[in-house]
Amino acid sequence: MIRNPIIHRELLSALRTRKAILLQVLFLLVTGALILLYWPAGGIQDVGGQEARRIFGVLALGEIVMVILFAPAFTAAALTSERERRTLESLFATAMRPRDIAVGKIVGSLGFLFLVILTGVPGLAMPFLLGGIEGTQFLAALGILLLTAVYLGMIGLLISAVMHRSYRAIITTYAILLGVCFLVAMPATPLSNHLINRGGPAWRGVLHVLASLSPLEAMLSAVWPGHAWSRGAPGWPAFWQLHLPLAGAVTLVSAGVCLHKLRRPAAPPRPRERLKVVERGQITARTFLFLIDPRKRKKMIRWWQNPMFIKEFRTRPMLQAQWLIRAFGWCVIISILLMIAQSVTVQAMLPDRPGTRIIEEDLPTVIAALSVLVLLLVGPAITGGTLCADREAGVWDLIRTTRLSSVRIVTGKFGAAIIPLLLLVMAILPTLVVLPFFVSFRVNLWPTILAVLSVVLMTALFVAAAGMFFSSLFSRTATATAWTYALVISLGLLTLLMLLGEGRFSQRIIAGAFVVSPLAAALDAAGSAAMIKYQVRTPHLQLMAVATVAMFLVAVVRVIQLRRPDR
Amino acid sequence: MTPTDNTAAAPATEAMPAPGTREVVVRCEGLTKEYDEITALKALDLEILRGHVFGYIGHNGAGKTTTIRILAGLLEPTRGRAEIAGEDVVERRGAIKSLVGYMPDHFGVYDQMRVWEYLDFFGAAFRIPRRKRRDRIDYILDVTDAEYMRDRFVDTLSRGMKQRVGIARTLMHDPAVLLLDEPASGLDPQARVQMRKLLRRLADAGKTLLVSSHILPELAAVCDTIGIIHQGTLRASGPIDQVLSELHRDRLMEFRLHEGVERAAEVLRAEDACSQLDEADAVQGLLRFRFSGDDAAMAGLLGRVAASAKVVTLREVPLSLEDAYMAISGLESEEEPELMEAPDEAAGAAKE
């Protein structure tokens, strides 16, 4: 394996990039910041080791979230970028076997991530100084970190082997990983609290196994075994004990499929020449299946239309009308399913909680969380390549020679980024609109609905501006999308880790962290009991408005710079 | 429909003098481009007349693309000045956009876009009104023989087709000058012939073309004037015949002999006006040499050779563009490291 030339090349090229230094610094900075924040300031010795376990848990969770965010960035484009550069065929023309290529890619891509994790080991080991941490616990945490890198990295590589374009592979990988890491962990608390009793032990077992797929859940159960999120269904092994064989199996299956894919010559992208033009007014089967037939002849660009805006909608796959309508449909379905799930949960919870409170707090909370999560998870995929896609496709120079002004370019791009996000939000609106019907009972929900909407709209603007910002800084869509995801997920989800510090930090410090989180602000706006005490909505809106304007302006300045003659 | 009667052509064409006049459309004076340690272009002086096809020849890294990008307003020169139709390319970038159609050496592809949509987008980006744009698309698809590609996806086209769509795009706003960077690169022989015809057709329609290439026979067939750039310096420019005669003041001559090849070679070696005697094909009775004398001296030489050998023919070997190019780049290959020299070192070397 050591003689595998791909490993050498991948490691060297990864280490030579600025991204490598930035990631290393970011990783160590976050680890250092967590230690600084959570390290006990008082001189009282914690004999029971509670404090040490708490710090250890926070560090381990912080590091695993970073691994979850970084791992796809290294492997998801590993094979697609070779395809795009047309170097994959050259690799296969060498004496190397497909297995060597796959192994070289995975080890080479993850080698750097391993190095990053290992540099974090001293930080992770610091709680030893306080006592109360067992060596096995430390090794388990380190093992889960390294296994997660391989597990998620292998999923990324599999996606990379299947797909043709880097940015699509990265988006798909992130979407899958967010499901694998976060969504499957959702039932963990209800399981722990024995709220889902209706399905019986078999149903609880299924949910327990599903939750065990999440490395986040595995780490949580390893470092804080007694936590409400860690207990799981009664009678089942701890999440991390199930996670190890499950993650191992998924890794092996992914590796097998990846090898199988690599052994066979890659199928070329589906020829689109079959998509003959359908003249306007002509009805076909697709008209009904797609609502908008992708083959239908487009209209010429009108004088009042921004050519850049129209071009974006015609060329970017995520903005094609047929896909937008599908996404819209999915959001409506999810929204309705959530309503049903919510009503089921309401019935289950009725004996414990008054119905009015459920309508006032739980329904808006779920809808607000769903709206913001959709924006955080889908938004970067739509907005990440806003500006750099043209540079990547080699068309930017051509656009520079046209008479399109910088303002028209930026507004066209921004419009194309924001409209699909707003469409997705609109798709969730039916559920939100249902809420006022509860007004007839006795609750006035309009202020709550408007508050949630304000946060959701600001989040849409922020995500669009963040996508523009990063795509103006980087020349590759994949990089810009990865950075947009990193920022948006960090602000939206990572800041929620501060919930673990309740009791340790003052309310002011926690509110300070939540003020940047769209999810926290949306939950606050929805009247969630966990968030309302922090009152973060108004400062969040102000801060996000400033950040959005600042990022938009930076994007405008960058476009002006990029349009100027090169020096 | 002709280019002059097309209404969308108005902005660029009206400002230009009529074809046939010896109006300089592209002018570079002392154009220099320096990067950190590399001088990509050294005091380039260049003039291209209206309606001419100017072949810009040079090996990779010689400075062709740098010149073209400066003329297209995409690159700022370090020193010197470049004008297109009297407009400075740095100070009047807005005007330059209307005057110039630029085709880079790589074809920018948009996924999911059909050819007419691609042209429609660039037409709209040049603010051509919709109706005129529609006519314009019809016209340029016709001119470039690309009508059958109208509804095809741009990214699925072959390289030759893409190159033609690329040229169609440069024609969208009817520019006076077309800057085509390696338009024949990567094309098969048939596509090259089509490309050559297309370029000639555009020149006949009054466009001024700057075409860079290192496929020399293609340029020789289509260009009115050429420029040979080597290591950032324009070594020769003008009509092809003039450049060839300037580069090879010594004529390349060839004797075909029936007998007495060795004796004839002796005579040639003894002549002061003869040089570079090539005896590679002596077995077949062929002797090639450079001759610096006039026709009278040539007649004398013929007499002396005929006295010692049986001469079948004596002919002057016509020079090709390739010979000219090799004369500049091939013979000076030892200067190659200069390309990587620091500017001051290069300047020092030039003084010496």
Instruction: Give the tens place of pLDDT for each residue, A34-48.
Output: 787 777 766 556 666
B210 φ, ψ (degrees, to nearest 5):
-115, 115
Q: How confident is the model at residue B124 (pLDDT cuts 50, 70, 90)?
A: very high
Quickly list DSSP for A260-279.
Answer: HHHHSPPPPPPP-TT---B-
Q: Is A271 on the interface with B (CB under 8 A)?
A: yes
Q: Is A86 on the interface with B (CB under 8 A)?
A: no
- Mean predicted confidence (pLDDT) in A186-198: 57
Q: How far is CA A98 from CA A152, A155, A161, A279, in A?
A: 20, 17, 12, 46
Q: Which of residues 85-114 of B touch A (CB under 8 A)?
A: 90, 93-94, 97-98, 100, 102, 104, 106-114
Contact indicator for B103, B137 with CB cutoff of 8 Å: no
d(CA A248, CA A152): 11
Contacts of B76 in chain A (CB under 8 A): 564-567
- Cα B105 to Cα B65: distance, rounded to the nearest angstrom: 8
Chain B hits for A315, Cβ within 8 Å: 110-113
Backbone phi, psi, residue A273, to 5°: -65, -20
Among A149, A156, A148, A170, residue whose Cα is nearest residue A217: A148
Dig out the tokens for A151 from the structure: 């597990």
Listed in sequence order, the DSSP H helices in A350-362 are 355-357
Based on its alpha-carbon atoms, the radius of gyration of chain B, rounded to whole angstroms, reads 24
Top mean pLDDT of A175-189, B124-138, B248-262 is at B124-138
Residue A147, pLDDT above cutoff 80 = yes
The set of residues, in sequence order, having a beta carbon less than 8 Å from that of B104 and lying 6+ positions away, is: A394, A397, A398, B181
Which of B106, B111, B112 is opposite residue A394, by nearest beta carbon?
B106
pLDDT of residue A516: 92
| Residue whose entry in the numeric block shows the structure tokens 């990324």 | A156
* 3-class secondary-structure state, position A564: coil
How many other CB atoms are there within 10 angstroms of residue A383's CB atom? Answer: 31
CB pairs under 8 A between A and B: 105
Residue B210 Rama label (left phi>0; alpha psi -120 to 50; beta): beta
**The pLDDT of residue B332 is above 60:** no
Q: Tell me which residue has tokens 């999120």.
A: A229
The pLDDT value recorded for residue A544 is 95
Query: A184 is written with which tokens?
Result: 């499957």
| B42, B232 Cβ separation under 8 angstroms | yes
CA atoms within 13 A on the CB side of A442: 4
Q: Which two tokens stand for residue A559?
A: 């476009």
Judged by CB atoms within 8 Å, which residues 456-495 of A form the interface with B? none
| Tokens 């033009």 -> residue | A277
∠ CA B319-B325-B326, nearest 5°, is 90
Which two three-digit tokens encode residue A199? 């399905």
Q: Which of A400, A401, A407, A562 to mutate to test the interface with B (most CBs of B within 10 A)?
A: A401
Domain ranges for chain A, please list them: 5-261, 306-562
Q: Burial level of B294, CB count in 10 A (0-12/13-18/19+)?
A: exposed
CA A117, CA A149: separation in Å to the nearest integer? Answer: 9
> Do B49 and B26 touch, CB atoms closer than 8 A?
no
Highest mean pLDDT among B88-97, B237-246, B323-332: B88-97
**Least confident interval from A360-369, A426-435, A519-528, A548-557:** A426-435
Interface of B with A in 156-175 (CB under 8 A): 156, 169
d(C-alpha A179, C-alpha B90), whole Å: 52
Across the strands, what pairs with B34? B39
Are A525 and A452 within 8 A, CB to CB?
yes
Structure tokens at B247: 């580069």
Identify which has the larger pLDDT, B327 or A136.
A136
Asked if the model's pLDDT at residue A422 lies above 60, the reply is yes
A520-524, B11-15, B27-31: least confidently modelled range: B11-15
Q: Is the pLDDT of residue A165 over 90?
A: no
Q: What percent of chain B has pLDDT over 90?
A: 33
Q: Contacts of residue A567 in chain B, CB cutoff 8 Å?
A: 76
**Per-residue confidence (pLDDT) for residue A1, from 0 to 100:** 52
**Alpha carbons B101 and B8: distance in angstroms, whole number:** 14
* Mean pLDDT calculated for residue range A3-15: 79
Nearest CA among A168, A149, A184, A180 for reference residue A72 = A149
Q: Is the pLDDT of residue A468 over 50?
A: yes
B325 or A289, which is more confident? B325
Which residue type is seen at A304? W
Rounded mean pLDDT, A18-32? 81
Instruction: Summarize the confidence of residues B162-182 as an average pLDDT.
Output: 90
With CA atoms as reference, report the closest residue to A115 among A232, A14, A186, A202.
A14
Provide ipTM, 2 decimals: 0.75
- Lowest-confidence region among B7-16, B49-58, B169-178, B341-350: B341-350
Contacts of B270-277 with C-beta under 8 Å, sequence gap 24+, read B271/B301, B271/B304, B273/B297, B273/B301, B274/B301, B275/B250, B276/B250
pLDDT of residue B120: 93
Task: Indicate left, alpha or beta for B263 from its phi (over 0: left) and psi (-120 to 50: alpha).
Answer: alpha
Dihedral sign (CA A334, A335, A338, A340)? negative
Q: What's the pLDDT band for A550 if we cut at 50, 70, 90? A: very high
pLDDT band at B337 (very low <50, low <70, confident <90, very high): very low
Residue of A nearest to B94 (CA): A403
Q: How far is CA A115 from CA A57, A76, A100, A110, in A?
A: 21, 19, 21, 9
Q: Is the pLDDT of residue B338 over 80?
A: no
* Among A351-365, A375-389, B1-15, the least confident range: B1-15
B117 touches chain A (CB under 8 A): yes
> Average pLDDT, stretch B18-42?
83
What pLDDT, on a 0 to 100 scale, did the predictor assign at position B349? 36
Mean pLDDT taken over chain A? 79
Asked whether A125 and A42 are in contact (CB, 8 A), the reply is: no
Q: What is the pTM of this model?
A: 0.72
A302 chain-B contacts, CB cut-off 8 A: 130
A175 vs B108: CA distance, rounded Å: 29
Query: Which residue do the tokens 């169609």 mark?
Result: B168
Sequence-separated (6 or more) residues with CB below 8 Å from residue A235: A201
Structure confidence at residue A291 (pLDDT): 60
From the list A300, A305, A317, which residue is nearest B134 (CB)?
A: A300
* Complete DSSP assignment for A299-344: PPPPTTS-HHHHHHHHH-GGG-HHHHHHHHHHHHHHHHHHHHHHHH
**Rounded-to-integer distance, Cα A478 and Cα A180, Å:** 21
Give me the residues paired with residue B79 across strands: B32
- Give A302-315 pLDDT, tens digit per residue: 888 999 999 888 88
Over residues A212-229, mean pLDDT: 84
Whether pLDDT at A557 is above 90: yes
Q: What pLDDT, on the 0 to 100 scale, is given for residue B112?
A: 78
Is the pLDDT reported for residue A554 higher than 60?
yes
CB B319 within 8 A of CB B244: yes
Q: H or E stretch including B259?
A: strand B251-259
pLDDT cut 70: percent of chain A above it:
81
Structure-block tokens of residue A516: 């940047």
CA distance A369 to A551: 24
CB contact under 8 A, A314 and B117: yes
Q: Pick from B100, B114, B121: which is nearest to A401 by CB? A: B100
- 3-state percent breakdown (helix, strand, coil) of chain A, nearest 5: 75, 0, 25
What's residue A531's pLDDT? 81
CA torsion A306-A308-A310-A312 (nearest 10°) is -150
Our CA-based measurement puts residue A371 at a distance from the nearest CA of chain B, in whole angstroms, of: 30
Closest CA to A461 of A429, A414, A501: A414
* B206 touches B19 (CB < 8 A): yes
**Cβ-defined contact of A311 to B121 (cutoff 8 Å):** yes
How far are the Cα atoms of B60, B96, B235, B244 from residue B223, in angstroms, in the given order?
Answer: 20, 23, 17, 14
